[in-house]
Amino acid sequence: MYRGNCPLLMRILRENTRFPYPPWLESATTSAAVHYHIEVKATAGPCSTPLKMSCNQYELMEEIQCDPRSPRAPEDLFVIMRVFDLFSPNIGLQVYINPWHLRDTALTFESEGWIVTPR
């Protein structure tokens, strides 16, 4: 967890997501400190390799979901950082901001302990 509005973190989030990120993330800084709940999920394989998420993580993701179109920074934000190709010379990073709103579009969730598959 991280609480703040670090411009470097915000840049990493913007640069490593293929999906529309919230409008408030456009500015280099935000006046309100955000409480980031960051889950780092790593794999030696490709980004599309399924990852595991606990029921508690899934419930927190749902509980702190926020309006993806809001111009104001949320108090709490759930983020999945997917590190992939870990043992290759080209380690990758894919960021899923507010992943509750990416269900069935960019992410598929299966309820067997919440296995998540990037599409």
Q: pLDDT tens across 18-35, in order?
A: 888 888 888 655 667 899
**Residues of the chain with pLDDT > 70: what percent?**
93
- What is the pTM (predicted TM-score) of this model? 0.88
**How is the chain split into domains, by residue range?**
2-118
Residue 93 region by backbone torsions, left for phi larger than 0, else alpha for psi between -120 and 50, else beta:
beta
Residue 80 has pLDDT above 90, yes or no: yes
* Over residues 7-18, mean pLDDT: 91
Structural tokens at position 71: 């111009």
